[in-house]
Chains A and B, each alone.
Chain A
Amino acid sequence: MNSLKRTYMYIENILASLKFAVFIILVFAICLGFGTIMESSHGTDYANRYIYKSLPFMAIQFCMFLSIVFAAIVRLPPKKHLYGFYTIHAGLIIIFIGSFVTYQSGVDGSIKLNPNAASREVLVSREEFRIKFPSRGKEASIDLPYSASGENLNTNYQGIKLGTFIPFAEEKLEWRPGKEVAPSSRYRIHNDKVSEELFFSLNSKARFGQSRKLGPLNVHYMPNKKQANNKTPVLLLHGKVASYFDKVTKTWVRVTLNENKDTPLPWMGLKLRLLEHHEDIYPEMVPYYVDPVQDNGKIIKGSLRAVHVTIGNHQFWVRSTEPTTFNFGNELVHLEIAKKQLTLPYEIVLDRFKMDLDPGTQTPASFESFVTVFKGNKGSEKHHIFMNNPMKRDSFTFYQASFFPISEELFGSILSVNFDPGRTWKYLGSLLLVLGSILHYFLRRKHKVSNTEFA
């Protein structure tokens, strides 16, 4: 018993010591500084996953919490000149509790409102993998981990195996052996200002189409056809040969493409180069992990999420950009990566969205949403939501967040939706922290002055 007490006293002394406080404060500050650099380079989502909402960071915060608690405990029973100190530490403890309550039970999402259309679905920031069997009306969802690196989900739902989840992905081209003989080609079309790679394949497993539209120019991949009737700006690619209609000579021109040489085209100084052509392998885009890159406030690399799926002998990737439908036995199954949803017990209709501009400029001065909340049999309510004037309904608060254009003069609105059960705790803790700081400052001063007087 004594050894247990001695161990406790030893731990208490460490946790309550000023040196531990200084150490943990500095570790916390360094992590925060690192987090801001991560956010600047890789974006908010990455910084949240990698630092701010990671387990090690939570552990550091917990150590700070312990330091604050034990620093107060060892200074009990209360001493008058430490009233400010106790108030500050009580405030910090309450803020920690409030933050934990918010982290555990809070909701942070958004609702998209189209003009004059009812909506009640709130998209929250966390994501899930959805499996739907439309014919059976059956649906399942698997929470995707909130991590910065790839993870193996290792989940099996009715024969659908979920493997690697990549939270930040880009796609790279891989050539795969195909069972069928079908032409596949890769070209580059470019001029001084633009450059674009084009992939085409007739292989049934390839996910590339056979046509592309580049501005006014239509490009068709037809390796097995030698002619066309279309005389509009059209480029026909026949594998190692290209053809187009020359408006000057009013004839079809056929050119053999060289893998090491650009072939000039008659539009906008464009040039064409054959990069690869194969008959027995086909191209496939495969997601791979990248550290996301943020530039000028936008994610320019790594915004894709992907989950590897195995169904029977078939293996493929489901991407966050589009849902995938698979023929599973005799029924279709829809697979998708999507944000989790929350259904409100009432409907919100955007009656009107108003955007004022600063006089003589195109700079927005205010965004305002005029909405009606329909509560079923209990009637309806009109609300006016704008910046710094949110709408409160039940436990939720709706804030004007953004907007999106539908036509030149018609806009939809995006409201952020928030439920924060830790709010009261955080406000109370903040108040105590500020009052305690003031109290601490003046009490310590009086204490010092009185000491001097006695000295």
Chain B
Amino acid sequence: MSKLMGLLVLLFTFESFAQLDFCNADLETFPVQAGGRDKPFYVLATEGIRFISGDAKVGTLTATEAFCQLTMKGFGIPSEIQINIKVDHPEVKTLLRLQDDESNIPATSLANKMGLIEAELVRIKENNSYRKELNKVDQRYKTYLAITQGRAWTIPVAKNNTVHFVSAAEFLTKEKVLDATKKSQSPVQYIFEQAKNEYLKVKGDGYLLELKYYKWNLFLWSMLLSLIGIFLFVVLKNKLPGTIITVLSLAVQVSAMAMRVMISGRAPVTNMYETVMFSGFGALVIGCIITLMRKEKAFVIAGLAFNFLTLMMMKFANGMLDPGISPLVPVLRDNFWLSTHVTTVILSYAALALSWVLANSILIRSRFFKIDSKEHRYQVDLIYTCIKFGVVLLATGVILGGIWADYSWGRFWGWDPKETWSLIVLLIYMAILHGKSTSWIPPKRFVPLVAAAFLTVMMAWFGVNYILASGLHSYGFSEGGALFLGSFFLIQILLLLVTTLKINPQAEQFP
């Protein structure tokens, strides 16, 4: 403690540091280590501040400035910064005496109420949503403490051509600052620059790719291009502009995914965020392939539409889909199986998503617009094509999963919820394909059934993780998705009711 106090007294003597000029945008490129990887300070700060407050900014300060100021505040440097800690659950709000419309609490106020949270965590045995939120608030506060105590920010120390990382609290010693005062007017900045330069000499600047990945926001551009592509295909008769924009959207998305692969060193299908990303991309690719085979633009429009939806989720549903790149559990560290089993299953979901988009578009058109029986039959055939792609890919994916499980765990099939639900999806679509040849599923029933069958895909994809939440595939588990899934189910069921319950004169024509 006396060592820290000595350092504080020393730091106060340097005006530039005391005014926190040091905490600026230049720090974004500073190398740190977190989550098992070297990354730019920008990523650490953004992820940390967003986790605590639910926002990437603190007032007018960027995440980089806020993270730095909070750390330096821990060293006793005066700062006006006040960060609020996110609180979502109504019962937790009541516990912390927050109003219903308040969704956060100042960290300084929460410090006095942590005893309440700890007591509740001991009292509540059941792992319900209240306990989960208590845990989350506890983790957010601990992250805040780690930042303000200088433990969250790791600094590279190069020695004998290797680099190891130490916490800011350990790194910023009185001796170092005293020594730096002889060389620079801004000693702390000088120390950090030296550390960064030493790091760059040993490990290079490869870690800065992640900064470009986040700053360039390529998925946002791809989302806008997908939207423009849909517009061009629907409005213009000439397919060329839409085709160019689609290719451009794919190229941008491939670039973003390639960057992510280079950063993580693995196939981009290891968590919910990545599977959503890959499914949209896969739907567009499959849509383009079938379009080329069948000379029918409906597939590429459906692909663009689903891709747009998934990119929207990635952009706006960060509470549910964590964009961070985290270490994998040991059993998943096999790029061959990740690149085969998981990608095949996600591609199958993508193909089935195309059938879902087409089925819903026919339902809406049949209900609210005119569609003749020939067109209806043609559209049913388009859906059928997508389902066949989906079923073949899903069967392959499920079997590849069995082989991987046999190779890694010694059993081909273990009734794990994820694999069981994949099988359920396969069975449901097989039942539809078989039933299509019977009197049970005529074309007028086929379309709503396909739209409804996609709910099983959503259950296998999201429901197992957000609702059932157990089993060997627990690596992809995240919270906040139950509401999304419930809303999706509700909207789809309402759409089915609206489009099928009322006797549609058009539907009568489609036996």
A133 interface residue (CB < 8 Å to B) = no
Interface residue range, chain A: 35 or more
Interface residue range, chain B: 35 or more
Structural contact, B410 and A39, CB atoms closer than 8 A: no
B427 interface residue (CB < 8 Å to A) = yes
A438 interface residue (CB < 8 Å to B) = yes
- Chain B contacts of A115 at CB under 8 A? none
Instruction: Select from chain B the residue with minimum beta-carbon distance to A422.
Output: B412
Known A39-B471, A438-B392; 16 more pairs at CB < 8 Å: A18-B438, A21-B431, A25-B431, A32-B420, A35-B415, A36-B421, A193-B119, A194-B122, A364-B329, A365-B330, A367-B330, A387-B331, A401-B409, A420-B410, A427-B403, A437-B396
Given known contacts A47-B415, A434-B399, A437-B395, is B407 in contact with A26 (CB within 8 Å)? Answer: no
- Chain A contacts of B428 at CB under 8 A? 26, 29
B142 interface residue (CB < 8 Å to A) = no
Which of B123, B127, B417 has the most chain A CB within a 10 Å cutoff? B417
A296 interface residue (CB < 8 Å to B) = yes
- Chain A contacts of B409 at CB under 8 A? 399, 401, 416
- Specify which of B119, B395, B420 is in contact with A35 (CB 8 Å cutoff): B420
- Chain B contacts of A192 at CB under 8 A? 119
Structural contact, B399 and A39, CB atoms closer than 8 A: no
A48 interface residue (CB < 8 Å to B) = yes
Query: Which residues 382-428 of B have a CB within 8 angstroms of A?
Result: 388, 391-392, 395-396, 399, 402-403, 406-413, 415, 417, 420-421, 423-424, 427-428
Structural contact, B395 and A433, CB atoms closer than 8 A: yes
- Chain A contacts of B33 at CB under 8 A? 359-360
Which of A18, A366, A427, A441 has the most chain B CB within a 10 Å cutoff? A18
Instruction: Select from chain A the residue with minimum beta-carbon distance to B425.
Output: A29
Structural contact, B424 and A297, CB atoms closer than 8 A: no
- Chain A contacts of B471 at CB under 8 A? 39, 44
Query: Which residues 190-239 of B have a CB within 8 angstroms of A?
Result: none
Instruction: Select from chain B the residue with minimum beta-carbon distance to A366.
Output: B330
- Chain A contacts of B435 at CB under 8 A? 18-19, 22
Given known contacts A193-B123, A441-B388, is B468 in contact with A29 (CB within 8 Å)? Answer: no
Instruction: Select from chain B the residue with minimum beta-carbon distance to A71.
Output: B434
- Chain B contacts of A149 at CB under 8 A? none
- Chain A contacts of B434 at CB under 8 A? 18, 21-22, 25
Q: How far is the CA of A193 from the CA of B125 in the complex (A)?
A: 11
Q: How far is the CA of A312 from the CA of B434 in the complex (A)?
A: 62
Chain B nearest Cβ from A358, distance in angstroms: 3
Q: List 16 A-B contacts (CB under 8 A).
A: A19-B438, A32-B427, A36-B464, A102-B412, A295-B127, A360-B36, A365-B36, A387-B408, A401-B409, A416-B409, A418-B411, A420-B406, A420-B412, A423-B412, A426-B406, A434-B399
- Chain B contacts of A178 at CB under 8 A? none
Q: How far is the CA of A401 from the CA of B122 in the complex (A)?
A: 31
- Chain A contacts of B391 at CB under 8 A? 437
- What DSSP secondary structure best describes chain B's contact surface? helix
Query: Which residues 417-455 of A have a CB within 8 angstroms of B?
Result: 417-418, 420, 423, 426-427, 430, 433-434, 437-438, 441
Chain B nearest Cβ from A75, distance in angstroms: 13
Structural contact, B469 and A399, CB atoms closer than 8 A: no
- Specify which of A19, A33, A364, A423 is in contact with B406 (CB 8 Å cutoff): A423
- Specify which of A21, A33, A366, A434 is in contact with B396 (CB 8 Å cutoff): A434
B171 interface residue (CB < 8 Å to A) = no
Chain A nearest Cβ from B422, distance in angstroms: 10
- Specify which of A19, A35, A363, A367 is in contact with B327 (CB 8 Å cutoff): A363
1/0 contact string of B307-345 vs chain A (CB within 8 Å): 000000000000000000001011101100100000000
Q: How far is the CA of A37 from the CA of B463 in the complex (A)?
A: 11
Structural contact, A39 and B470, CB atoms closer than 8 A: yes
Which of A297, A360, A423, A441 has the most chain B CB within a 10 Å cutoff? A360
Given known contacts A36-B421, A361-B327, is B36 in contact with A29 (CB within 8 Å)? Answer: no
Structural contact, A388 and B334, CB atoms closer than 8 A: yes
- Chain B contacts of A296 at CB under 8 A? 127
Query: Which residues 351-373 of A have a CB within 8 angstroms of B?
Result: 358-361, 363-367
A156 interface residue (CB < 8 Å to B) = no
Q: How far is the CA of A39 from the CA of B37 in the complex (A)?
A: 36
Instruction: Select from chain A the residue with minimum beta-carbon distance to B439.
Output: A19
Chain A nearest Cβ from B332, distance in angstroms: 9
Chain A nearest Cβ from B325, distance in angstroms: 12
Q: How far is the CA of A32 from the CA of B413 in the complex (A)?
A: 13
Please give me the 9 A-B residue pairs with the lowest Cβ-Cβ distance, nearest first: A358-B36, A418-B410, A40-B468, A29-B427, A296-B127, A430-B399, A358-B327, A25-B431, A360-B33
Structural contact, B402 and A29, CB atoms closer than 8 A: no
B126 interface residue (CB < 8 Å to A) = yes
- Specify which of A33, A36, A387, A426 is in contact with B333 (CB 8 Å cutoff): A387
Q: How far is the CA of A33 from the CA of B468 in the complex (A)?
A: 11
Q: How far is the CA of A116 from the CA of B92 in the complex (A)?
A: 50
A210 interface residue (CB < 8 Å to B) = no
Q: How far is the CA of A364 from the CA of B333 in the complex (A)?
A: 12
Given known contacts A366-B330, A426-B402, A437-B391, is B420 in contact with A36 (CB within 8 Å)? Answer: yes
- Chain B contacts of A366 at CB under 8 A? 330, 333
Structural contact, A32 and B424, CB atoms closer than 8 A: yes
B494 interface residue (CB < 8 Å to A) = no
- Chain B contacts of A426 at CB under 8 A? 402, 406, 412
Chain B nearest Cβ from A342, distance in angstroms: 14
Structural contact, B437 and A18, CB atoms closer than 8 A: yes
1/0 contact string of B425-457 vs chain A (CB within 8 Å): 001101100110110100000000000000000
Which of B154, B410, B431, B440 has the most chain A CB within a 10 Å cutoff? B410
- Specify which of A29, A99, A388 is in contact with B413 (CB 8 Å cutoff): A99
- Chain B contacts of A433 at CB under 8 A? 395, 399
- Chain A contacts of B438 at CB under 8 A? 18-19, 22
- Specify which of A29, A295, A390, A427 is in contact with B410 (CB 8 Å cutoff): A390
Instruction: Select from chain B the residue with minimum beta-carbon distance to A390.
Output: B410
A28 interface residue (CB < 8 Å to B) = yes
Q: How far is the CA of A47 from the CA of B123 in the complex (A)?
A: 30
Chain B nearest Cβ from A45, distance in angstroms: 11
Chain B nearest Cβ from A177, distance in angstroms: 34
B489 interface residue (CB < 8 Å to A) = no
Q: How far is the CA of A359 from the CA of B37 in the complex (A)?
A: 7
Chain B nearest Cβ from A300, distance in angstroms: 8
- Chain B contacts of A295 at CB under 8 A? 126-127
- Chain A contacts of B119 at CB under 8 A? 192-193
Q: How far is the CA of A99 from the CA of B469 in the complex (A)?
A: 27
Q: How far is the CA of A52 from the CA of B413 in the complex (A)?
A: 11
Which of A48, A366, A386, A426 has the most chain B CB within a 10 Å cutoff? A426
A108 interface residue (CB < 8 Å to B) = yes
B165 interface residue (CB < 8 Å to A) = yes
Given known contacts A40-B470, A99-B413, A108-B411, is B427 in contact with A28 (CB within 8 Å)? Answer: yes
B34 interface residue (CB < 8 Å to A) = yes
- Chain B contacts of A390 at CB under 8 A? 407-408, 410
Q: How far is the CA of A103 from the CA of B329 in the complex (A)?
A: 30
A397 interface residue (CB < 8 Å to B) = yes
- Specify which of A39, A360, A388, A401 is in contact with B154 (CB 8 Å cutoff): A360
A413 interface residue (CB < 8 Å to B) = no
Structural contact, B330 and A358, CB atoms closer than 8 A: no
A294 interface residue (CB < 8 Å to B) = yes
Structural contact, A359 and B415, CB atoms closer than 8 A: no
Which of A22, A37, A47, A387 has the most chain B CB within a 10 Å cutoff? A22
Chain B nearest Cβ from A293, distance in angstroms: 9
